[in-house]
Amino acid sequence: MWRSSRLDIGVALFLLVLYVNAQQNWQTNGNPQNPGQNNWQNSGQPNTNWQNNNGQPNPNWQNNNNNPNPNWQNSNNPNSNSNWQNNGQNDNWSNNGQGQNNNNNNNWQNQNNQQYGNNNSQDDCCEDYCYVTDEEPYLNFATKTAYDSLNRRSNSQHLVPECTPIQFWTIIRHGTRLPSAEKIEKLRGLNRLHEEILMNYGKRRSYPDKGRLCREDYDLFTRWRWNDTVTPERGNALTSQGVEDLKLLASRYKSKYSQILQAPYDERAFYFQYENLDRTHDSYQAYIEGLFGSEAYRVHANTLNDERLSKPDDSCRTLEERQTQTIDFRNEYHSFTFSADYSKMVHDVFKRLGFRYNLNASVISDMYDLCRYEKAWNVQQRSAWCIAFTKSHLKLLEYGEDLKHYYKSGYGNRLSERIGCSPLKDLYERFEKTVNGDNTGPKATFFFTKAATLLNVLTAMGIGKEYTPLTAQNYYQHSRRKWRTSELSPFAGNLAAILYECRGSEKYKVMFFLNEMPVEFPECSVGLCNWSSVEQKYQGLVKNCNVNDLCSENLASTSSLSYILYAVTAATLLYLRI
């Protein structure tokens, strides 16, 4: 009995070690290659790949001959006909059954073998909505929002009476980019879904009576083709729209703060730094072209100095893992996707597209991603994939994205402020140096980063903070929330701070701008803060900001615990053998 008890103790300690290491190396759904992807499963089956007629996994949406066809074209598919014909027997648009694709016999049946059937006037979907004719479509797409979509008003609030701008500081998110290589492969699979939706509205006529696609939306959808220039080899690359956004942003700030930014380039007066990513480098390059024009080639960027300043979460891998583990942001998001509102949205979207059952829920995410990416790539055009959603659907999906970032890089994660304090510390110390009479530093400082870093900085500053935390249960309560990543960190999102020298009792003042609009702090007047207020608000945070210590602290605590548990387990197992 004693030996059995000792064995139980050894097994328990061994399991405890496994648990600790699992927590340190936590990944989503057991997939170490993609910790951020939500792999929704269908009916409990582990395979989310669309399968071909032979039942084989087919991530490339292969045809009946199992030949990869990622660049599917509809030229041989009569469904490509966008002319809604009417045989005069009913008022429902139809192409008289000419939508059949002879190369595809998949019927997308569910496990109960439900067929599509004809239109049932009592089988309604959702509210009638026409995306193409909507003069004010919903354009808030969380962190994939186009910068041009923001409701930025032309203003002159940078002009402060009896004050002169003397120092400029900004942190800028990269411009519009392509998805990752893995995501591009996944989105190309929507070629096949596009074909099936056309079949639903053509040969099958399985669309609902109420809530079906309007004529204009259907026409837009039939004309859609995958952009062949979007390839996995170009994953995460900055787009031409992203380049344009950064150039124009630089030009606008140069015009507003000509006293500082119109000076010829001097490396002592201008400081640039970007994260070691292609998209941030290219954003920096576009920005300096907008700032210096043909003289941009002379600009030097300080990419190797103090790398933790612009990307503390990446340079401290243990800290990044700890941040993810502190509060499982995916759990809150997953809870939201199981809510009644979200489930109804999924049901309505598939019914709106002519499916008599729900496909894998990850398809919703893919359609939403392509909708918002395409809109960001071409701000003057409408994405064909946005026709799948009504405005209420898009608001629900936006909230889900906000939940993710709230618990990953925002106020729902207690480490966000500690990570985001480094850039804020740089801002504070540069301005403090000038206020104290030392004018030897740069007059303008620029950092180019990614969405998570910008959100961490905004969290450290108290921007976008809610009195009531965002949860899976209080969606309606937060319909007017401040934590809206569409407005906090869109593509090319930026935070700028300008130090003014003024006449009067307060010699120095600071104006903060988020995406070119003044930030309203309670202790400030229309975004203009006395330096004494800035000191009081941020001095304590920046004085105690040291990401190096935080990294060392986490490294020491996690590694020490592992070593202790391994040692105890090894000793116990050795004792059991004696």
**Residues acting as catalytic residues:** 174
Residue 253 corresponds to which amino acid?
Y
Structure tokens at 235: 């994953």
CA–CA separation, 150 and 42 (whole Å): 36
> 251: closest CA among 299, 301, 286, 302?
286
Q: Are 463 and 222 in contact (CB under 8 A)?
A: no
CA–CA separation, 105 and 203 (whole Å): 12
Pairing relationship of beta strands 528-530 and 508-514 according to DSSP bridges: antiparallel
- CA 308 to each of CA 127, 277, 417, 503, 551: distance values in angstroms, whole numbers, following the listed order: 49, 14, 15, 37, 11
Structure tokens at 83: 């002319």
Residue linked to tokens 């870093």? 453
Pairing relationship of beta strands 270-274 and 528-530 according to DSSP bridges: unpaired
Backbone angles phi, psi at 397, to 5 degrees: -65, -35
Backbone angles phi, psi at 447, to 5 degrees: -120, 140
DSSP string, 446-479: EEEE-HHHHHHHHHHHTTT--SS---TT-TGGGT
CA–CA separation, 140 and 487 (whole Å): 8
Around Cβ 171, how many Cβ atoms within 10 Å? 25
Q: Are 37 and 30 in contact (CB under 8 A)?
A: no
> 50: closest CA among 71, 29, 34, 66?
66
> 403: closest CA among 395, 390, 412, 391?
412
CA 496 to chain centre: 21
Around Cβ 216, how many Cβ atoms within 10 Å? 15
Structure tokens at 153: 């008003």
CA–CA separation, 274 and 126 (whole Å): 46
Evaluated on CA atoms 568, 572, 574, 578, the torsion sign reads positive
Structure tokens at 530: 């006395």
DSSP-based three-state secondary structure for 447: strand
- CA 151 to each of CA 158, 516, 531: distance values in angstroms, whole numbers, following the listed order: 18, 11, 29
Residue linked to tokens 């049901």? 347
